[in-house]
Structure 1
Amino acid sequence: MSTSKDTGPAVRFRVVVVDDDFHVARLHTRIVESVEGFGVVATAGTAAQAAAAIEAERPDLVLADIYLPDGSGLDLIAGRDVDAIVLSAAVATAAVRKALQRGAFGYLIKPFADDDLTELLRAYGRYRNLVDSQAELDQEAVDRARRVLHGAGARDGASRRSPTETAVLGALAEAGAALSAPMVADRVGVSRATAQRYLSALAHQGHLVVELRYGSTGRPEHRYRTAGRT
């Protein structure tokens, strides 16, 4: 088992990678750490090592293979208070059903393209942005979170992004901090109403995190930041 404590200030989602093939684990680690907001805190080659890493690191997400030298990755994720994605060569229907029954958020069949895992991680990040931004969820929020998690139209939406939407996201990324609608409007060169409309839509889709700030008047102000920023 290997660990990496220095994940950097921008890491929001801490990941444990579980695979008995060292080279595969290293490849998955590289993919995870290429996604903004994600960092690998430990890798493990056995179920025992993985269980110890989960206990020690308390990660947000585990990327687990099924076939491990001393057990099953499905038994590893069952009953543990951690989100999981299964990355496996197992193609049997029973394996897929069991993975989903035991709480896996996704299932990728090896070998898969790097982009497949990247998109799944980004969908997970948007899902967490939505559910973590409020203490209670109504049915609309639950349904929206489920759609976001399963990546409905994520790639197509990104390819159809308007210039203004791209500029809003760019302004927030460049700022590296939470900004209000008026601040974004000034940076992008649009009206406050337009900035607010785009910010609300992006937050609704899980691309932005919403924070409440209280000014000198005591009235709350919505501020927005990109995923992965703290």
Structure 2
Amino acid sequence: MADDIRVLIVDDDFHVAKLHVAYVNAIPGFTALPPVSGGEEAIRVVRAMQPELVLLDIYLPDVNGLDVLRGLDVDVFVISAASDVASVQKALRRGALSYLIKPFRAEFLEQRLRAYARYRSVLAAGNTLDQEAVERALRILHPGESGAGKPRAATEAAVLEILRRTSVPTAASEVASEVGISRATAQRYLSSLVYEGAASVQLRYGSTGRPEHRYSVRGAGPADS
């Protein structure tokens, strides 16, 4: 789709690249571009296609991926079997947003990509950002100390799933009814999702003139306008 986050996969192993393409395309809101196998080709494709994110291997046949990283003006996740401290430090020092060590489960990459989508949503919320927004974006992308990267509780996951399935912004009372929880509990989970950047909220005025908070997934529908 036109608004999907486009991801370029750079890996010289055809089978691994094909697998990562499948991982990316399975996540709503993401589209994998045709993968490339070399560093020079990656630089050309990034300049021509301007993807939002690159999944970059280090061991490439022509140029070391860490040298490619230095010349890319785009968000990058390094994905490599290299687990030595020097490689990890150099990748992060040269601007990689994340470092994933092969092999890993599809769920691990999915978690990182969903976090990246929320990170982008927070940074795109306005023309300027305050410090709280910057800190929230960084916590989403690097959740280790805050614990935000842990698997969601079943109730929170159910609340988020309701928002994903609904095409229009939804009230806390409607979410509560769908999930089978109290309105106060639904409100607590919805507020948490808004805080971490996974959902957005706006005020709607009903027939009584009283404002009501309505929630939607970040980047979906008129709630982000």
Task: Work out whether the TM-score is over 0.5.
Answer: yes
CA distance in 2, matches of 1:204, 1:36: 21
Between 126-135 and 187-196, report the one with greater CA deviation: 187-196
Between 13-22 and 84-93, report the one with greater CA deviation: 84-93
Instruction: Name 2:28's counterpart in structure 1.
Output: 36
**Pairs aligned (count):** 218
TM-score, normalization by structure 1: 0.78
Higher relative contact order (CA 8 A, sep 6+): 1
Instruction: Name 1:170's counterpart in structure 2.
Output: 161
Aligned 8 A contact 2:140 2:149 in 1 = no
CA distance in 1, matches of 2:110, 2:72: 24
Letter in 2 for 1:83: D
Letter in 2 for 1:173: R
Between 52-61 and 113-122, report the one with greater CA deviation: 113-122
Instruction: Name 2:40's counterpart in structure 1.
Output: 48
Instruction: Name 2:49's counterpart in structure 1.
Output: 57
Letter in 1 for 2:107: D
Is 1:156 matched up with 2:150?
A: yes
In 2 relative to 1, CA 199–213 (structure 1 residues): closer, same or farther, beyond 3 Å? same
Instruction: Name 2:189's counterpart in structure 1.
Output: 198
Residue 62 of structure 1: SS of its match in structure 2?
strand
CA distance in 2, matches of 1:134, 1:223: 20
Aligned 8 A contact 1:37 1:229 in 2 = no
Instruction: Give unmatched runs, 5+ long, in structure 2.
Output: none
Give the aligned CA root-mean-square deviation in angstroms: 3.1
TM-fit CA distance, 1:189:
7.5
Aligned 8 A contact 1:15 1:42 in 2 = no
In 2 relative to 1, CA 183–35 (structure 1 residues): closer, same or farther, beyond 3 Å? same
**52, 57, 61: which one pairs with 1:69?**
61
List per-residue Cα deviations over 1:123-158 (Å, max 9, x = no partner).
212222222223322222222221211133245350
- 1:7-26 to structure 2, matched below 5 A, reads 8=1, 12-26=4-18
In 2 relative to 1, CA 227–42 (structure 1 residues): closer, same or farther, beyond 3 Å? farther
Identity of aligned residues (%): 47
More strand by share: 1
CA distance in 2, matches of 1:212, 1:182: 15
CA distance in 1, matches of 2:165, 2:119: 23
- 1:72-151 to structure 2, matched below 5 A, reads 72-151=64-143
Aligned 8 A contact 1:37 1:228 in 2 = no
Aligned 8 A contact 1:131 1:145 in 2 = yes
List per-residue Cα deviations over 1:96-148 (Å, max 9, x = no partner).
11100111011112222222222221221222222222332222222222121
CA distance in 2, matches of 1:71, 1:166: 42
TM-score, normalization by structure 2: 0.80
